[in-house]
Structure 1
Amino acid sequence: MSSRNLKWKLAQFFELKWWQFYFKGKEKVAYLNWKKNYWKSVFKQTEIYESIQPSDTILELGCGPAGCFIYFNQNKIVAVDPLLQSYQNSLSFFKPNEYPNTQFITSSIEKASIQKQFDVILCFNAINHVKDIELSLNKLCKWLKPEGKVFLSVDAHNHSFFKTIFHAIPGDILHPHQYTLQEYIELCSNAGLKHSETILLKKERIFSHYLLLLKH
């Protein structure tokens, strides 16, 4: 097994364990209400809140068990995540049939077979979880309509010194990829996505959390 495959499989294993631990003891309705308010607060910081219309089709990549799909209940959504079946089996709060406007696909981004394009692509806290980031961004670009928009969140290293350490340990087992903000922007550009804006969501000592607005 290659180093890349091993890192990805370990990250997926611990991602599921993290969710199981995180949700332990939480009440479903209270948690989902909190999560909807969380998404609303994030969207109000960004262009997302104003720019998505009810008629827009949305692709959410790396949606997790409580992604943006829980908020956009008027849009037609396709939500993709490799752990969806595991979430359904082990997390009581995730019930796909409670989101009739959303088509769930259990797949990695790299292996997802989607034969249409979307007005909006959302990818929050997911692109550094993938196995092959270049292929994932290329497919993301392919799924975007010519006038569509991408909202891509990234956890970017503030210091190259810590990035080197995290690569070697790894210090962040849930995230196989470790990049600076500029490196993420360059990866997107190489995939054919034009960077139009960067929004700082949260600044921390080692990482900062950004939202990249991308177009063709």
Structure 2
Amino acid sequence: MSSRNLKWKLAQFFELKWWQFYFKGKEKVAYLNWKKNYWKSVFKQTEIYESIQPSDTILELGCGPAGCFIYFNQNKIVAVDPLLQSYQNSLSFFKPNEYPNTQFIISSIEKASIQKQFDVILCFNAINHVKDIELSLNKLCKWLKPEGKVFLSVDAHNHSFLKTIFHAIPGDILHPHQYTLQEYIELCSNAGLKHSETILLKKERIFSHYLLLLKH
């Protein structure tokens, strides 16, 4: 098994464990209401959000068990995540049938077979979880309509020297990829995505969490 495959499999294993630990003792309705308000606060930080119409088709990549699909519940959504079956089996609050407008696809981004394009693509805290980030961004670009919009969030290193250390240890087992903000923007550009805006969602000592707005 290659080191890339091993890193990805370890990240997926610990991702599920993280969610199981995180939701222990939480009350379903209260959490989902909090999460909807969280998504609302994130999208309200950009004017582009106001242009998203209920008729827009949405693709959510790396949706997790409580992704944007719980907020954009009037839109037709395709939600992709390799751990969806595991979430359904082990997390009592995640029930796909509670989201009738969402088509869930159990797949990694790299292996997803989607034959249409979307008005909006959402990818939150997921692109640095993938096995092949270049392939994933290329596929994301292919699935975007010519006038479509991409909302891509990333955890970016604030210090290059720490990035090197995290690559070697690894110091962040949930995230196989470690990049600075500028490196993420360059990866998107190489895939054919134009960077239009950066929004700082949260600044921390080692990482900062950014929302990148992208288009063709």
TM-score by length of 2: 0.99
Give the superposition deviation at 1:94.
0.2
Tell me, in whole angstroms, the C-alpha distance in 2 between the residues paired with 1:109 and 1:57: 18
Give the superposition deviation at 1:49.
3.1
Tell me, in whole angstroms, the C-alpha distance in 1 between the residues paired with 2:153 and 2:47: 13
Tell me, in whole angstroms, the C-alpha distance in 1 between the residues paired with 2:72 and 2:193: 24
Comparing 7-16 with 202-211, greater Cα deviation is found at: 202-211
Cα deviation 1:162-207 (Å, max 9, x = unaligned):
1001001100000000000000000000000011111111111111
Cα deviation 1:67-95 (Å, max 9, x = unaligned):
00000111000000000000000000000
Tell me, in whole angstroms, the C-alpha distance in 2 between the residues paired with 1:48 and 1:192: 20
Give the superposition deviation at 1:46.
2.1
Give the superposition deviation at 1:47.
3.2
CA-based RMSD: 0.7
Give the superposition deviation at 1:44.
1.1
Of all paired residues, the percent bearing the same amino acid is 99
Tell me, in whole angstroms, the C-alpha distance in 1 between the residues paired with 2:146 and 2:61: 18
In structure 1, the partner of 2:138 is: 138
Give the superposition deviation at 1:26.
0.6
Tell me, in whole angstroms, the C-alpha distance in 2 between the residues paired with 1:30 and 1:214: 33
Gaps of 5+ in 2: none
Match status 1:162 vs 2:162 = yes
TM-score by length of 1: 0.99
In structure 1, the partner of 2:26 is: 26
Tell me, in whole angstroms, the C-alpha distance in 1 between the residues paired with 2:193 and 2:49: 21
Helix, strand or coil: the match of 1:210? Answer: strand
Comparing 165-174 with 42-51, greater Cα deviation is found at: 42-51
Tell me, in whole angstroms, the C-alpha distance in 1 between the residues paired with 2:147 and 2:127: 22
Give the superposition deviation at 1:12.
0.1
Tell me, in whole angstroms, the C-alpha distance in 2 between the residues paired with 1:20 and 1:114: 29
Cα deviation 1:113-150 (Å, max 9, x = unaligned):
00000000000000000000000000000000000010
Gaps of 5+ in 1: none
Tell me, in whole angstroms, the C-alpha distance in 2 between the residues paired with 1:52 and 1:69: 14
Tell me, in whole angstroms, the C-alpha distance in 1 between the residues paired with 2:105 and 2:48: 23
Helix, strand or coil: the match of 1:131? Answer: coil
Tell me, in whole angstroms, the C-alpha distance in 2 between the residues paired with 1:82 and 1:28: 22
Give the superposition deviation at 1:48.
4.8
Give the superposition deviation at 1:45.
1.3
Helix, strand or coil: the match of 1:176? Answer: coil
Cα deviation 1:24-58 (Å, max 9, x = unaligned):
11111111111111111111112353121001000
Comparing 2-11 with 194-203, greater Cα deviation is found at: 194-203
Comparing 123-132 with 39-48, greater Cα deviation is found at: 39-48
In structure 2, the partner of 1:36 is: 36
Tell me, in whole angstroms, the C-alpha distance in 2 between the residues paired with 1:120 and 1:47: 14
Tell me, in whole angstroms, the C-alpha distance in 2 between the residues paired with 1:102 and 1:162: 39
Tell me, in whole angstroms, the C-alpha distance in 1 between the residues paired with 2:163 and 2:113: 33
Aligned residues: 216
Comparing 8-17 with 38-47, greater Cα deviation is found at: 38-47
